[in-house]
A and B are shown apart, each in its own frame.
Chain A
């Protein structure tokens, strides 16, 4: 309370001095300051006097000055607003005779001296500490924390008194701690260091490391070294957990991509080069659903994903069905032809989508998919990735149940293992083929929809998926769901543990190369993958 009164006093004193220097004019403070700012030789003085000002009504004026949107015209100060019309300081638009906004050609821009730019920024930062928007307050607090300017302590303490938002409070607290490391009193410094060690503030680590070399006080120095070891130890553990989650997440992405292929290629033996495009169609279905929600039901935009997910499954499944019925069923047992035909279909789909839906589209995750779950300070598991992990688990369980626990699955396995005998048993093999292929495509569509949460939606996105998918299926052993699961887990994990282990500027590139080499070596040793199919199934494949 006392601080507040002090500020009032200083502001009033500042204004008193200013009004005196402006020439005893009784103009409103905003206008007085504005006139002073617009006068070249008074600009610096006026800005200096505004140093501790927290009045938000000055914000527009200062931003305009900084952006070069402040003009003088016929002795009047005007701000060129976002809408492209001139406004006076009170925010009223300047209108011509026909009450239309107009742009006078002879308006003169108010120049901002280069040396004064930091002053303007400083005043804006102080005002931002008490801004209505918590994001702005947080940014300002962060900035003060990094400035190493002891004058910030008082300002932040003052702001903390009125701060209600916990996330802003914690940032302010951290900034305050960093600034107090520069306190002249060693007792104070030691307490601050101990506090930092207790909250394991990663943000203070670099500062501590640079300060520990200069610290004269033995007790503080020791506390600093302890704090550094404890923070670093925590970071190592946290990073390891992070890498494991990254690996798990990549594994689930790979699994989503390749589950469909494990069925069409693994079970049926159709080399479907358009598998990537099935994924792409799934992504575009999500995009179209989102766009129609935005157009017809903008209030429910956040729920579009619930519609998009099942719809992409159905739409792409239907496309797969058409593909099988229209083309692929004539090509069974001719792998080369089906390879070429599906590749051609892939190209056609790419260009068709490009033509009708455009190139750079993106699916905006619903608001509750943004951000993530902070399991440990500084370790955030994004909700979208957690969702994909869950979805891939559910898909595997679903596929397993369908193949091994349902009548349809029994028929599918019968046809795939021995077509002729299955036909003798009265199973309609043709219909089973069509159903199986459609199921593979539908899974790809589901994957495409889910992956649009974290990736791009563009016509060529299939290319980025197809190679990885084939790698997973081949590595897992053609025809085995369990193999596919384990292969994607292995690939994802080793990729994400390899990447941080490689130093240099292109770790992501070399990790990919490393993985490919590993796969090559592995397939040399076990050409049939992790789980080789049994003999009879192999026969059925080469029919």
Chain B
């Protein structure tokens, strides 16, 4: 008996295997109609090295968005499969890994990069291979690639509204500004634009603006804080801080120790959000300000739900409660996955060209309400919020713009007449000369 059964089941199994092989073959011939072959997408964020602290949560939130999409039936009826690469905070490696993702894994899109230098290093790869990159972080602008969707803030979506706030009665009607930064491209560009904005648009006197730069990893801020203190004693003053990374710690410690408090002289910063605050000594920072497009403490039902969803995700992934916070770049990273999925569904294809077309003017719901990609310039529309740092590393929102702020990759103050258009037969960045567009790509 047993012998007979074994033989029969063996026979049945082999028939099934042969049938299965045939079906697989047929399925392959018919494209993806039967077996839903997954769509591969790349995640290119540093999971080790100096940037890991900021970029690891981005990877998590992208994975969470992908998981949500898959649970809701995937994209074009196919599941989305993430391919994670770790460029280890090394910008040469960013270029290599992006080449690998595009050529070897043939991913439909890549979500990635944090620092400007890493973005600049992958840019030629994406342009050469005609890939698609979603970039989630605020940056200095002056770039508009066909192959990149920039979801983070441009300078007019973060720095200039910060000045608007400080000068408003809400912000204490500040009239004098101390610009302090690390000596490299982002602070220099931001301050160049801010200085023009303050003097031209806001009629602040040149004498009421101080500008100062320190080298990377600068540790001794005694003299500078002394100067800031004297400057602030004059009243109506604020500090605009673009100091990079580790130097912020001695800077804020010195401010606190010398008694430059936020009520007398608030400091507004553009580079640390909730994630970075969890790892810092927040006490000297309490009361100072930050400008972003999203805060974890935002009081909308959508945001409360999103934060709850992320906290559940943390629990599943075994991420400690203390590290489980959401912030601005994470919100952008989450939204760009949703934008991509919606665009692919609308385009009916994962090819870069139709997806880019579908992305023009595309709107999705987000934790900050409606969120929109610009019709032309590959950047996004969003509101701007000012937050005051609390002892628990969260922010009290003290101000917001009424409307969406339109993205300006090229500031009208430093490059009047320059803009960017990829819609229709647009060829990217152009200068408006006597009412006519001169494409930068052609004039080279």
Residues of A within 8 A of B (CB): 64, 66-69, 80-82, 84, 103-105, 107, 109, 114, 117-118, 121-122, 135, 138-139, 142-143, 145-147, 178, 202-203, 205-207, 235, 239, 242-243, 246, 249-250, 253, 354, 358-365, 370-372, 374, 378, 380, 382-385, 453-456, 458, 460-461, 463-464, 496, 499-500, 505-509, 512
- Bound Cα distance A80, B213 (Å): 42
Question: CB-CB < 8 A to B169: which residues of A?
Answer: 118, 121-122
Residues of A contacting B398 with CB < 8 Å?
A: 66
**Most interface-central of B214, B222, B227 (chain A CB within 10 A):** B222
Give the chain B neighbours of A365 by CB distance below 8 A.
Answer: 253
Q: Give the residue of A114, A362, A506, A508 whose beta carbon is less than 8 angstroms from that of B280.
A: A362
A84-B307 in contact (CB<8A): yes
With A358-B53, A458-B246, A508-B215 already in contact, the answer to whether A67 and B299 are too (CB < 8 A) is: yes
Q: Are B170's CB and A246's CB within 8 A?
A: no
A246 engages B235 (CB within 8 Å) = no
List, in ascending order, chain B residues with CB within 8 A of A380's CB: 257-259
**B211-A370 in contact (CB<8A):** no
Interface residues in B, total, Cβ within 8 A: 62
- Residue in A359, A370, A383, A512 whose CB lies within 8 Å of B50: A359
CB within 8 Å for A146 and B236 given contacts A360-B53, A372-B258 = yes
B226 within 8 A of A: yes
Does B304 contact A362, Cβ atoms closer than 8 Å?
no
CA distance A364 to B285 in the complex (A): 12
Known A203-B233, A205-B233, A454-B250: A508·B213 in contact at CB below 8 Å: yes
Residues in B whose Cβ lies below 8 Å from that of A453: 253
Q: With A67-B397, A80-B304 as given contacts, are A117 and B170 in contact (CB-CB < 8 Å)?
A: yes
Q: How far is the CB of A318 from chain B (nearest CB, A)?
A: 27
| Most chain A CB within a 10 A radius of its CB, from B169, B283, B400 | B169
Contact indicator per residue, chain B 335-369, by CB within 8 Å of chain A (1) or not (0): 00000000000000000000000000000000000
Say whether A362 contacts B249, CB under 8 Å: yes
**Chain A residues closer than 8 Å to B297, beta-carbon distance:** 82
Chain A residues near B402: list those with CB within 8 A: 114
Q: Are A202 and B258 in contact (CB under 8 A)?
A: no
Are A500 and B215 closer than 8 Å at their CB atoms? Answer: no
Question: Does B99 belong to the interface (CB within 8 Å)?
Answer: no
A360-B304 contact in complex given A69-B299, A203-B235, A456-B219, C-beta closer than 8 Å: no
Q: Do A246 and B250 touch across chains, with their CB atoms under 8 A apart?
A: no
| B259 lies within 8 A of A103 (CB) | no
Question: Does A249 contact B50, Cβ atoms closer than 8 Å?
Answer: no
Q: Are B257 and A371 in contact (CB under 8 A)?
A: yes
Contacts of A68 in B (CB 8 A): 299-300, 397, 400
Name 16 interchain pairs, CB-CB below 8 A, sorted by A: A64-B299, A143-B263, A249-B222, A360-B280, A361-B279, A362-B279, A371-B259, A374-B259, A378-B233, A455-B250, A456-B250, A460-B50, A464-B217, A500-B227, A505-B213, A508-B223
Asked if B318 lies at the interface with its beta carbon under 8 angstroms from chain A, I say no
- Nearest 4 CB-CB pairings of A with B: A382-B257, A139-B263, A206-B234, A69-B299
Q: In the complex the two chains form, what is the Cα distance from A490 to B415 in whole Å?
A: 47
Interface assignment of B142: CB less than 8 Å from any CB of chain A: no
Partner of A84, one of B219, B246, B304: B304
The answer to whether A454 touches B280, judged by C-beta atoms less than 8 angstroms apart, is no
| Chain A residue at minimal CB-CB distance from B217 | A464
With both chains docked as a complex, state the minimum distance between the C-beta of B198 and any C-beta of chain A, in angstroms.
Answer: 15
Complex Cα gap A378–B258 (Å): 9
Question: How close is B390's CB to chain A, nearest CB, in angstroms?
Answer: 10
In the complex, besides A103-B301, A139-B263, A359-B279, 15 extra interface pairs with C-beta distance below 8 angstroms are A68-B300, A114-B402, A146-B235, A206-B235, A246-B223, A358-B279, A370-B257, A380-B258, A382-B257, A382-B258, A455-B249, A455-B250, A456-B249, A456-B250, A508-B215
Q: Which of A105, A143, A372, A505 has the most CB of B within 10 A?
A: A505
Interface membership of B406, Cβ < 8 A = no
**Distance of B405 from chain A, by nearest CB (Å):** 15
1/0 per residue, CB under 8 A from A, across B256-288: the answer is: 111100111000000000001001110110000
A81 to B396 Cα, complex, angstroms: 12
B69 at the A/B interface (Cβ < 8 Å)?
no
* Contacting residues, chain A, for B124 (C-beta < 8 A): none
Complex alpha-carbon distance, A363 and B217, angstroms:
17
B249 pairs with A496, CB closer than 8 A: no
